[in-house]
Every structure is written in structure tokens, then in C-alpha cells.
Chain A
Amino acid sequence: MIKVEHVSKYFGEKKVLSDINTEFENGKCNLIIGKSGSGKTVLMKCLVSLYTPDEGYIHFDDRILRHLNKKEKMLLRKDIGMLFQGGALFDSMTIEENIMFPIRMFQLSDYKTMRKRVDFCLERVNLSGINKQYPSEISGGMQKRVAIARAIATQPKYLFCDEPNSGLDPQTSIVIDQLIKEITHEYNITTVINTHDMNSVMEIGENINFINQGQLWWKGNYHNVLNSNNTELNDFIFCSALTKRLKPQNDHE
């Protein structure tokens, strides 16, 4: 479990995160949703310690991020897998080398075991047989799945996904969402997903955190997100023509 306590972050004079308090539960898909510029990426970067919060604490189970020294932080990072918005695959490496990279870097196993692990991870994301291809030779959706394979290669305890569906068609987005959900449940990972895709919210939002203007405005799940009385959340949820159609039904009920 990841616990966020009174976390604030400033960029110069501007407060981009303001007193965030929340929990990301183990074995669940925890979503951070919000408009562009609301601070969700900053929160995620604070969680993976790419940014240091100016105030507050982040607990990774029994470890408090602020109290860890450099070496302990490095150790924690070995328990973290991350899927970046653009995939962030290393373009000079083949798919196999990409997935093998974190295992090889920390000499977690011998070559034969690493190969086995790569094949397993690729099979898990339904991409067997593309080991020798380069990231530029595969589609965007496949790149995202390879990035998921790389993120789970070291069997992380915590998985972070920054807008996993951006730039993907709705069908591929569903595949990616389902994959993340399955992996989360299968390996009992604490998964934190940063998204503004409403389909993801409805499909995998087991624990939803709505961020607005750097503050946590609402918490819930996909069962109650449509029935909320929170005006800002409703403005966010029901802004598209498709979701607007859901609103009258809800109001009627």
C-alpha cells in the first residue's frame, strides 16, 4: 500500500499540489484523474521520487520516502515498475534488450533465466516472437504493451502508469486497461494509474482520486463516480457528448 500524507509541491511561487492525503491500495487499480494541468503527473512523479515533495510524507508500506537515504531509495526503485506516457522504450535496443535491461543492470539472474523471463513477460502481454525487433518497428499499442512487459520484468511491488491510453484507439485502450487490471490482480501489485480516459475510469477504477487545481477533490470508485454530487467532478466526467448521455439517466434515477 502507498499512503500519501499532506503532500504539497511548489514550482517557484506556484503551488501545484496542495495538502494531498490519500491511500493507494494493494492489489487494486488506483486511478488519479483530473484535467490537464491539474497536478496528477506531478503527484505521480512525487510518488516515483522523480520530484521531491516540499511538504508531507509518502509511505511505501513501512518505508517513508523522505526518510530514505540514496541507497535505500535505489533499493525501493527496484520494487517499482513504471509505464510512461510515450512508452519510453530505449530506441537503440531491441525489444528483448529493453525488457532484459533492468534485470541485467542489477544482475538479478543469469542469461538463460533472463531470456526465460523476457519470453514470459512478452507472452503475458500477448507479444510473443517480437524479441529481435526494435521499438520503431512496432505500433504504438505494441510499444505500450512492451513497456508494460518491461515494467513487470523485475516483479515489482508497485506499478505506476502515466496515461497508458494516450494516443491509442479505443479498442487498444481497452486491451491495455484489461492487461493492467489482470496483472495487478494476478501479482497483487499496488497499481497507480494516471489518466483522463473515461473508459478507463469505468473499466478499472477500483479506487479513484479526482485531482483539481492541485487538490484532492473527490475519492471513490467506478460504482459511485457517476452519482457524485461533486460539481467539479461532474464537470470533468460529463464534458463529452458520450458521457453527457449518461447524466440524465443518472439524474432520473
Chain B
Amino acid sequence: MKKLRYLIEDFGNYLLLMKEVFRWPQNMHIFKRQLLFEIRTLGLDSILIVFLVSVFVGVAVVVQLLINLENPIYPDWIYGFSARKTMMLEFSPTIIALILAGKCASKISSELGTQRISEQIDALEVMGVHSASYLILPKIIACMITFPLLIIMSIFVSILGGAVGAMTIGTLSMAAYTDGLRLEYHNIDLIFAIVKIFVYSIIISTIASYRGYTLKGGSVEVGIQSTKSVVQSCIVIMIFDLIITNLFM
């Protein structure tokens, strides 16, 4: 009962913080600068990890399909088709979101937490700056802009990785793989992936910001809240994965 009360209280505080965050910036010029900075640190700096994970998973998925579905009754297009569906519907939006949660949520939370314990947030407040909006809003918008772009890149790269996998095994022709990729392609799959990652980007950035901004205590607490932000983001992402998937079915 006590835990439930704590959970409701926590959620209420989260909503109150978000109310403070979503307000018009006090200075548009400074906001744009902050936004560009966050786009670089949260988005562009994540390209390498998203690229590497996508390539390797793309290769692994196609190799697994070729090994496990090695039966003449399966048509050749099944490999490309399955790879595309897997990458677009689940792997790229959800698994990459979990990786981004690990990377970006911990960064956001520890950064804000350190600013809190070193009194930088208090300094902003005393100056008359809306600290929540100034610090958090650019991070949320940067995630909302860059994560969908990262996912589009991930889909593309993982499918290319799949092609590399097919060539490595050598039992599947490139023509058959591309036929499978093209088979019954509908834009709704891509829209579905983008909607998912758009929701996940809000989840990751807001949970991490809440954990960091409301931190109380010292350096040990920074680590605790940073871990909490990653764990909670991952759990909420999986819950919303189920909800969004059911909505689109």
C-alpha cells in the first residue's frame, strides 16, 4: 500500500514537472543553441552505436533465418521478407530504443543530477530562469527529432547487414533477398516504427529528466537515479510496445 502511494505520488510529481517543462522558452536564441547542443550530444553521438548494433543484428537475423529455415518448402523470398518485418516492426524501434535508453537516459539523468547537487539549478532559479524548461525542454525535443532519424538509419543499415549475411552464407541469391524485401511492402510499417520511436523518445527523455532534476542527496544518489532512469525507461518502453502494437493491429 505504501509502495503504491509512493508510485502515485511519484507519477504526480512527474506530471507537475512536465507542466513546468512545456512552456515557451524565455529566450529563443539561447533555446536554439541549447537544442543544437543536445541534438549533437544525444542524437549525433549515438550514430555509431546504433550503426554497429544494427549491422550486426541484421547479419545475425538473416544468418539465423537461413540456418533455421533451411527447407525446400520455404520460398526464397521468406528470408528477405522476414528480415524486413523483424527489423522494421520490432528490432529497430524497440531494441534500439532500449539501447538509446541505456545511453541517453543515463546521460540526461546524471547530467541533471550533477547540476542539482552542484547547485547549478538553484543558481538558474535565483537568476530568474525557468530551470526546468531551460534544461529539460531542449533534451526532450532533441530526442524527438533525432531518435526517429536514428531508427530510419537503423532499419536501412540492418537490412543492408542482412544482405551481407545472405552473401556470407552463400545459399541465398541477392535477387531473392531483395524480392523478399519488396514483397508486400506497405508504408504503414515505417509509420508504425516512427510512431513507436517517437513515443519512446518522450518516455526516455522525460523519465531521465525527472529522475535527474528531482534528485536529492550526493554523488551516490546520482548513480542510483541514473540506474533507475534506465530501468524505468526500459520497463515503460516494453509496456508501450505492447500497447502500440495492439493499437496498430
Contacts and interface: CB of A to CB of B under 8 A. Distances in A.
A106 B25 CA distance: 11
A48 B127 CA distance: 10
A105 B126 contact: no
A160 B128 CA distance: 14
B111 to A, nearest CB: 9
A77 interface: yes
Contact of A90 (B27, B29, B120): B120
A185 interface: no
A77 B124 CA distance: 10
Contacts of A74: 128
A154 B126 CA distance: 12
A86 B118 contact: yes
A105 B122 contact: no
B9 interface: no
Interface string B55-81: 000000000000000000000000000
B30 A77 contact: no
A246 interface: no
Contacts of B120: 88-91
Contacts of B30: 104-105
A106 B128 contact: yes
B217 to A, nearest CB: 15
Interface string A68-110: 0000001101101010111011110000000001101111000
A12 B184 CA distance: 63
B189 interface: no
B150 to A, nearest CB: 23
A105 B123 contact: no
Nearest to A79: B128
- Prevailing SS type, chain A contact patch: loop
B10 interface: no
A77 B123 CA distance: 11
Interface string B121-156: 011011111000000000000000000000000000
A48 B29 CA distance: 27
A156 to B, nearest CB: 10
B215 to A, nearest CB: 15
Contacts of B129: 102, 105
Interface residue tally on B, bucketed by range: 10 to 19
A77 B27 contact: no
A48 B119 CA distance: 14
Nearest to A78: B128
B110 to A, nearest CB: 13
Q: Which of A77, A88, A101, A104 has the most CB of B within 10 A?
A: A88
B13 interface: no
A242 interface: no
B127 A105 contact: yes
B26 interface: yes
Nearest to A104: B30
Classify chain A: how many residues form its interface, as a range: 20 to 34
B26 A88 contact: no
Nearest to B129: A105
A50 interface: yes
Given A84-B119, A90-B120, A102 B127 contact: yes
Given A106-B27, A107-B27, A77 B119 contact: no
Contacts of B26: 105-106
A88 B27 contact: no
Interface string B11-32: 0000000000000001101100
A88 B123 CA distance: 7
A86 B119 contact: yes
Contacts of B128: 74-75, 77-78, 80, 102, 105-106
Nearest to A77: B128
B118 A77 contact: no
Contact of B126 (A48, A90, A101): A48
Interface string A108-143: 000000000000000000000000000000000000
B119 A105 contact: no
B123 A82 contact: yes
B27 A84 contact: no
A101 B129 CA distance: 10
Contact of B122 (A78, A88, A107): A88
In order of increasing CB-CB distance, the 6 nearest A-B pairs are A77-B128, A88-B123, A88-B119, A84-B119, A82-B126, A74-B128
5 contacts: A82-B123, A86-B119, A91-B118, A102-B128, A104-B30
Given A86-B119, A154-B127, 6 more contacts: A78-B127, A78-B128, A80-B127, A84-B119, A84-B123, A91-B120
Interface of B: 26-27, 29-30, 118-120, 122-123, 125-129
